[in-house]
Chain A
Amino acid sequence: KAGVTQTPRYLIKTRGQQVTLSCSPISGHRSVSWYQQTPGQGLQFLFEYFSETQRNKGNFPGRFSGRQFSNSRSEMNVSTLELGDSALYLCASSLGRGRAEAFFGQGTRLTVV
């Protein structure tokens, strides 16, 4: 079966702009999580959605937001981009029940200039 797909793979944006990243989970998976990966901070949790409801949110400013659609696809949005938002953004999907295994996408590399 197809894995987790993230688009686009690479993005270059200017400070102050906004960006939307997309994640298509594995078919049948209802949970989608987002993580930010940077050399300095490692992998940090952004938020998790299950059946269009946000169940948990990490310690990020309100500029970071997300949503999940009825087909389980998810988007995350970052407004008023800052240089420090440059990172690899990873999406993971799982069945969402119990402690099911999370499968990760290839990530979107965001560079803010």
Chain B
Amino acid sequence: AQRVTQPEKLLSVFKGAPVELKCNYSYSGSPELFWYVQYSRQRLQLLLRHISRESIKGFTADLNKGETSFHLKKPFAQEEDSAMYYCALVGSYKLIFGSGTRLLVRP
């Protein structure tokens, strides 16, 4: 079955601390994964896709096929990073989302 698991509902860190949002997936074949972010009162927007291997707003994510993971990382969290983060897997003409992790960065 195709599934995305985000084990943490809430992650609270202090400003300047490292952040790692966990994402594990279940998919037979070659997966394509995304991280979407939803800031307060804003629409869901794409943050990262694994095929581009780029860093956006200081965030990076590496696909680990052996561990079936796609964790999102940032070395130094900023208050403006506070948002809801969703890991998503491309299925058949659809996105399969994890349950989301709320990141709270405290001053």
The verdict on A81 contacting chain B, using a C-beta distance below 8 Å, is no
How big is the B interface, by class? 20 to 34
Q: Is A43 a contact of B97 with CB atoms below 8 Å?
A: yes
* Nearest residue, chain A, Cβ from B52: A101
1/0 per residue B41-85: CB within 8 Å of A?
001111001010000000000000000000000000000000000
**Which of A11-19, A71-79, A102-110 has 4 or more CB atoms under 8 Å from chain B?**
A102-110
The verdict on A89 contacting chain B, using a C-beta distance below 8 Å, is no
Given the known interface contacts A99-B90, A106-B43, the answer about A42 and B95 at a Cβ–Cβ threshold of 8 Å is no
Number of A-B contacts (CB under 8 A): 49
The verdict on A55 contacting chain B, using a C-beta distance below 8 Å, is yes
* A48 to B: closest C-beta gap in Å: 4
In the bound complex, residues from chain B placing their C-beta under 8 Å from that of A42 are 97-100
* Nearest residue, chain B, Cβ from A56: B93
How big is the A interface, by class? 20 to 34
In the bound complex, residues from chain A placing their C-beta under 8 Å from that of B49 are 101
Q: Is A50 a contact of B93 with CB atoms below 8 Å?
A: yes
- Interchain CB contact (< 8 A) of B94 among A3, A56, A90, A106: A56
C-alpha spacing A72/B90, complex, angstroms: 22
Q: Is A48 a contact of B94 with CB atoms below 8 Å?
A: yes
Q: Is A90 a contact of B98 with CB atoms below 8 Å?
A: no
The verdict on A58 contacting chain B, using a C-beta distance below 8 Å, is yes
Q: Is A102 a contact of B95 with CB atoms below 8 Å?
A: yes
C-alpha spacing A33/B97, complex, angstroms: 13
* Nearest residue, chain B, Cβ from A49: B93
C-alpha spacing A3/B96, complex, angstroms: 22
Most chain B CB within 10 A, of A44, A45, A103, is at A45
Given the known interface contacts A42-B100, A99-B32, the answer about A104 and B93 at a Cβ–Cβ threshold of 8 Å is no
* B62 to A: closest C-beta gap in Å: 18
| 11 A-B pairs (CB sep. < 8 Å) | A42-B97, A42-B98, A45-B95, A45-B96, A55-B92, A56-B93, A58-B94, A101-B49, A104-B44, A105-B43, A106-B43
